[in-house]
Chains A and B, each alone.
Chain A
Amino acid sequence: MPDPPSPAPASVAEVAEGLRSVGYLPGESTALVAYLATKLGKPVLVEGPAGVGKTELAKALASYLGRELVRLQCYEGLDEAKALYEWNYRKQLLRIQAEASGTGWDAVQEDIFGEEFLLARPLMTAIASEQPVVLLIDEIDKTDQEFEAMLLEVLSDFQISIPELGRVESRTHPVVLLTSNNSRELTEALKRRCLYLWLDYPELEHELEIVRLHAPELSETVARRLVEVIGMVRALDLKKPPSIAESIDWARALLLLGVEDIDADTFTATMSVIVKHRTDMDVVADRVGLKLRAPADVA
């Protein structure tokens, strides 16, 4: 349930504070770009490796601004009918059948192409909404270029043309976030319309803060050790490096187990929380496990 909409933020610090209050610790540039997005109404293109909190940022922004989050998950083959709107054929058919036989075509046509028979998909919902919303277009790099081109109208003018109804213009200005895992180069035209934000894995201190926020019962030393190990694991050449969400999961797992210190044995036992590929597990067990063992032997 969204909170009542809060007024537009007045400064970068306010945005940072706000995001913090809903459990998202923004980096400097994140807060700044989020602030600019609310201020200028420009879409933001967020890129970065998987699991650095791109989607989370949109959620946090929505809950901070007290707006509803409208999410469009992109995938290969996503088309306008799934993203914009669709006519509700079945309902239209029923309407026609229910019509007395004497009604003329004009009357029926007038009838069945009304808003009542329109199925609004995410983009349409976001634009037609009475209340301002946060629109998240997730993993835009998964779609084809044609779809990107279609987005251009929506993103620059916040309007959608429906042949039967005319133009639907946005009543309020949505905050738009597009995320991309960089699996394909996006078109220049799309990039030009957006502010750009590159999210990377956080610095050690920053991640420590995040982990402490989400697992406050975990002791300072274990938490620090944890983010250090995560850093080591990320430095390896893995198929899927552990994301922030996985560090948090790991922290919670350690908490459940009541671990005092991360040594080689605990690491091997709980490694599966952060490493999710068989080949990766071998690599990690090999490299990181050894490193963890070494100082223990010395002691």
Chain B
Amino acid sequence: MSPDHQGPPAQRAGRPHGPGFEGLPARILELGEELRREGVAVGTSELLDAFEVLAEISWTSQEDFREALAATLAKSQEDRRVFELVFERFFFRATEIAAAREGVREEDLANLGELTEEELEELRAQIAAALRDGSEGAMRDLARMAIAAFARRQEGSGVIGVDVQRIRRALGLRAEPQPDMPAEDPRRDGLPREALRRFEALLRRELERAQIERTGNLPPARPLGELDRALPSGPLADLAAVHRVVAQLRRRLATQGLQARGHRRHAHVDVRRTMRASLQTGGVPVVLKFRPRRPRRPEIYVLCDVSTSVTSASVFFLSVLHALHDTFRKMRSFVFIERISEVTDIFEHERNFKTVSERIGNDAGVADISGYTDYGRVWSEFLQQVEDDLHPRATVIVLGDARTNGRDPRADIFANIAARAGRTFWLNPEPRLYWNYGDSVIAAYEQYCTAFECWTTAQLEDFVRALTRPVISAR
């Protein structure tokens, strides 16, 4: 252990806190910074609130302490989740390094000695029982026992994640039922997944603790992964998120319309209003009244794939379509599988999203003979229907996976469409990794349009940004 590791964590992290900046306030500020690093908006006012709140509660109750901080620092459910994770990690590390520096050690279990096979089986059963009952304290003790037992039997790999999995495997802990176990054994019906996750987390934490004790040094903090951060959510929550982004899209499109109006003067004098105003000045038109500038509403054509290969995405797509219809009056929508069918009317007459999707499912009359998308046919039919209306101010948006099922992609017709329209966007519900694999022919189309992968709401937001970006080249 080299002496320069002895400094307080704040200094080692290279933050310019002066001397005397110690104790709890410093820790809270560090926690705030760590939260910011994980993307929680923690402002100065939040931190001030946190201090104010901490003055009111007793710090001895860990639960109160955490809840009080959470109430002031994390202001949404997502933030709350991140807060829990960061809080755990932060204070665990803070205590451990403090303990390591003070020379406080956990009671040593390493002298447990070699476990016999029977004792090991006993340990396994005890752990399984603790998992079933979900008692945190017992699980923690058993986790330490297990680590000590297996440290004896085999060498640790030194990589915590690997060790955790190895110990778990050796303990035979599985979520699936194991019918060959005796009837009273909790492992017979399988262990609760949630408890298994918690036990793994405990193993990880105890291993980390051992590592910190051994080296007297903090390993670098692992940033939270997408997986840790994601809320355990159902499809409903996802749909709600889509609606949120779509609502934002609507708002942004609406405000952008105002910008497009601009301040440029234009010279269409409104004769009627000018004459009327001139009455005040005895019939002399002193003040010219101009005709109001009507914003030129962009015209949008949306083509939406509703075939089976994009079933999971089509709800998402239809809700995007729904939102677009609220914003643009001059918009025509088409759904297609093998052939194309215009659904503009449905969207215009139905406000309720649920009814819209039902009606499209039932009587939109998508000519669906084989159930397979035929992009070539779709393009030619689309061009036939809108050929006369397509012009450089129009925007064409295609929602689909570009999987042609081996049929001719007819990129030439698509190029023709793209050339006539001002802008052409493609939203693909598949990750970019899968593009052009199998029967996906997105590359053939991508050269004529701007393609976006679009399977998370964040990506939808990217698209919204692109769509609302003012058109620079006036073709």
Contacts and interface: CB of A to CB of B under 8 A. Distances in A.
A29 B62 CA distance: 12
B341 to A, nearest CB: 26
B56 A33 contact: no
Contacts of B45: 192
Interface in B257-309: none
Given A47-B76, A195-B49, A28 B63 contact: yes
B52 A40 contact: yes
Interface residues of A, number: 24
Given A29-B67, A197-B71, A185 B235 contact: no
Contacts of A36: 53, 56-57, 68, 71
Contacts of A54: none
A257 to B, nearest CB: 32
Contact of A191 (B64, B75, B234): B75
A42 B75 CA distance: 14
Contacts of B80: 196, 198
A210 interface: no
Contact of A196 (B52, B71, B234, B244): B71
Contacts of A42: 49
Contacts of B63: 28
Interface residues of B, number: 27
A12 interface: yes
A188 B41 contact: yes
B43 interface: yes
A29 B56 contact: no
Interface string B49-74: 10011001100000110011011101
Identify the interface centre among B46, B49, B75, B244: most chain A CB within 10 Å of its CB: B75
A185 B76 CA distance: 9
Nearest to A185: B244
B53 A40 contact: yes
Nearest to A241: B236
Contacts of B75: 45, 191-192, 194, 196
Given A36-B53, A39-B56, A198-B80, A237 B236 contact: yes
A188 B244 CA distance: 16
A172 B442 CA distance: 66
A184 interface: yes
A196 B74 contact: yes
Contacts of B240: 182
Nearest to B83: A196
A92 to B, nearest CB: 33
A195 B71 contact: yes
A197 B234 CA distance: 22
Contacts of B154: none
B235 A198 contact: no
Given A196-B72, A198-B77, A198-B80, A32 B57 contact: yes
B247 interface: yes
A45 B79 CA distance: 14
A188 B76 CA distance: 10
Contacts of A35: 56-57
Identify the interface centre among A12, A32, A42, A184: most chain B CB within 10 Å of its CB: A32
A96 B64 CA distance: 59
A33 B67 contact: yes
B28 to A, nearest CB: 16
Given A47-B76, A47-B77, A12 B64 contact: yes
A95 to B, nearest CB: 36
A266 to B, nearest CB: 26
A184 B244 contact: yes
A195 B72 CA distance: 5
Contact of A12 (B43, B46, B57, B72): B57
Contacts of A237: 234-236
Nearest to A238: B236
Nearest to A38: B56
B67 A28 contact: yes
Contacts of A32: 57, 64, 67-68, 71
B31 to A, nearest CB: 16
A293 B30 CA distance: 55
Nearest to B46: A192
A28 B52 CA distance: 20
B392 to A, nearest CB: 35
Nearest to A191: B75
Interface string A194-214: 111110000000000000000
Contacts of A45: 75
Given A184-B247, A191-B75, A40 B70 contact: no
Identify the interface centre among B64, B234, B235: most chain A CB within 10 Å of its CB: B64
Contacts of A195: 49, 53, 71-72
A181 to B, nearest CB: 11
A28 B74 CA distance: 17
Contacts of A198: 77, 80
Identify the interface centre among B49, B52, B71, B240: most chain A CB within 10 Å of its CB: B71
Interface string A31-52: 0110110011010010100000
A29 B84 CA distance: 13
Given A36-B68, A40-B56, A192 B247 contact: no
Nearest to B234: A237
Smallest CB-CB A-B distances: 3 pairs: A191-B75, A29-B67, A195-B71
Interface of A: 12, 28-29, 32-33, 35-36, 39-40, 42, 45, 47, 182, 184-185, 188, 191-192, 194-198, 237
8 contacts: A28-B67, A32-B71, A182-B240, A191-B75, A192-B46, A195-B72, A196-B72, A196-B75
Given A42-B49, A196-B72, 4 more contacts: A184-B244, A195-B49, A196-B70, A237-B234
